[in-house]
Structure 1
Amino acid sequence: MALLGDLGLTLGKWAGRPSARVQKDSGDPAVGRVREAAEAADWATVREVLEARPESENRVELLWAVGDTAGVERWIARVLEAEPEAPLPRLVAGIRHISWGWEARTGARASQVSREQFEVFHTRLRTAEKWLYEAAEREPQWTSPWYGLQVSGRGLQVGQDTARRRFEATVRRDPHHLEAHQQQLQQLCDKWGGSHEEMHAFARESAFKAPAGTLLGQLVAVAHIEEWLSLDSGPDAAYMRRPEVGASLREAADHSFRHPDFVRRGGWNQVLNTFAMAFSLAGDRTSAQECFRATEGRVTEFPWYYLDGSDPAAAYRKQRSSGGR
């Protein structure tokens, strides 16, 4: 749910280049292992994989692999009874209840979600918050509980002040936590009660205060895509073609994936896919093709589902073939 890019589809060859396929995960073998263990209700293996991954090394992806697995809510309840003081089962239960909550809500517009669906959604998110707070109390240095509370808080509409405090709690523990920054950027979007000005200011401050070569440059590209999404057809294209937007994207790229210190780890491929889409919409063919080549046909669901919700790889192929025109 919260990790973007989880369709796992394989699509055909395109113009002799690597096949464009939606990437199921980062390619980390631990992700597949922990997902299989979660499907099998194998808590011993789930715990082994999670405990082997430090919080500082993107344990979030592994947690969502478990949390997005159907049925975890049943067997994790037995683990919680058996290990009443352990923080890790509480963290897993919290993440699962967030994902399970969004399953009830669905991705439909709020006007198309029934009152009963919203009640289930909010009940599951409140349960998630209980488990996440208990995990945070037991392991004060862990980042993941606070990141999870950012996600649940947006669904529960806790407000900008509370959302900011949860974000700050996460980044005190991990200053360059990509997913935490992504969540806070969403919180500052106009559609969630923020504004374009707040969103862009946050994206730039986060990207350029971070050391060169981090993944946080993606935030600048995401902010421009979010403003593009908010506009009607016509004004949206005009916005992306503004010279200052292109310059902003290039500046962020130079500070991020173009920098010699950039390391392909964690969400690096989603960062490149995001810049590929943003540069394509901005009409910067050279920069777009640079990003497409670097992805080697590996498509992340985000952000391409904004262009084609049913087939993100088709949107990727279309933009790649057009050269960002």
Structure 2
Amino acid sequence: MAVLRGWGLTLGRRAGRFVPRVQKDSGDPDVARVRKAAASADWDTLRDVLEARSESEDRTELVRAAGDTAGVEKWIDRVVDAEPEAALPRLVAGFRYVSWGWEARTGARASHVSRDQFKVFHTRLRTAEQHLYEAAEREPSWTSPWLGLQMTGRGLQVGQATARRRFEAAVRRDPFHLGAHQQQLQQVCDKWSGSHGEMHAFARESAFGAPGGTLLGQLVAMAHIEQWLSLDSGPDTSYMRQPAVTASLREAADHSFRHPDFVRSGAWLQVLNTFAMAFALAGDHGGARECFDATEGRVTESPWHYLNGSDPAAAYRELRSAARR
């Protein structure tokens, strides 16, 4: 086994080669602590871990990990009632109801979701909104409640104007918050009543409006992947293989992970995985190999789940092999 220096990650090797492995988080050991505490209803430990982090991208990951943990809905409301002036229990409750709501809806197309599923989905999202607004009122400087409200807003179809205000509220507090920008990118996608043009414009404005070396370059790659996903087989490949697409990916890479100020922290691994997939689909094997080498077999579920929802690592392996031919 090999350990990547500075990240405490153990990577499997087989015959001298990395074995791609899906990584559920950034490598932050506190994510596992959060999940364990949340699963066992250990609010004291969960609160201590969350309070030890400043309100930033790093704590966002921890709060989302708590929200994604099954069973939190069975006990978090008691904590909210016991600590009526505290924002943190409401924040965790809000993110749990967001995740629990999407679990009820499932990832199926709307035409395949029943009326009862939608009813449960919307009820849980409205409960999430109540908790998140109360958290935001108690801690006006926090970004995380507004990130959660971006997520509920899309599910409740609050409309583009309201969604934009929620995004702007998030970035007033943290201008280069990747999660907030990712949510807004989804909001302006064609599949959510936006358009390809609006999506690409938002991605470029966000990426190049930020200083060099931020994570926001990922938005450019993700926008191309989103348009690729919207096309039928054949036209999708033609789209990604356009010289203009390759040029925009290279430009975004230069301003992001290739920039000397880029730091491997937070969601950097997801950024490299996204560029790896985009470069591979574009036929830029050199760019793809660069990103695959940097990830060293660590696979993030997004964006590979778009290619293989049950086995993202298999999609990673396939495109990595193609890039090495």
Q: Deviations over 1:86-120 (max 9, x none)?
A: 11111111000000001111111111111000000
Q: 5+ unaligned residues in a row in structure 2: which ranges?
A: 1-9
**2 CA distance for matches of 1:322 and 1:67?**
37
Return the letter of the residue paired with 2:229.
Answer: L
Return the letter of the residue paired with 2:251.
Answer: E
Q: 5+ unaligned residues in a row in structure 1: which ranges?
A: 1-9
Structure 2 counterpart of 1:82: 82
1:320, distance to aligned residue in structure 2 (A): 0.5
Change (3 A) 1:57 1:306: closer
**2 CA distance for matches of 1:57 and 1:236?**
33
Structure 2 counterpart of 1:315: 315
Is the CA contact 2:146–2:166 (under 8 Å) kept in the aligned structure 1?
Answer: yes
Return the letter of the residue paired with 1:178.
Answer: L
Structure 1 counterpart of 2:292: 292
**2 CA distance for matches of 1:66 and 1:146?**
17
Change (3 A) 1:13 1:258: same
Give SS of 1:46's match: helix
**1 CA distance for matches of 2:15 and 2:272?**
21
**2 CA distance for matches of 1:158 and 1:324?**
45
* Normalised TM-score (structure 1): 0.95
1:191, distance to aligned residue in structure 2 (A): 0.3
**2 CA distance for matches of 1:253 and 1:236?**
22
Is the CA contact 1:289–1:320 (under 8 Å) kept in the aligned structure 2?
Answer: yes
Kindly report which structure 2 residues correspond to 1:112-261, keeping only aligned pairs within 5 A, or say none. Answer: 112-261=112-261
Over aligned residues, Cα RMSD in angstroms?
A: 1.4
Does the alignment pair 1:96 with 2:122?
no
1:14, distance to aligned residue in structure 2 (A): 6.3
**2 CA distance for matches of 1:190 and 1:57?**
27
1:58, distance to aligned residue in structure 2 (A): 2.2
Structure 1 counterpart of 2:39: 39
**1 CA distance for matches of 2:224 and 2:121?**
30
* Normalised TM-score (structure 2): 0.95
Return the letter of the residue paired with 1:237.
Answer: T
Give SS of 1:55's match: coil
Indicate the percent of aligned positions where both proteins have the same amino acid. 78
**2 CA distance for matches of 1:63 and 1:88?**
9
Q: Deviations over 1:243-274 (max 9, x none)?
A: 00000000000000001110011100000000
Return the letter of the residue paired with 1:113.
Answer: V
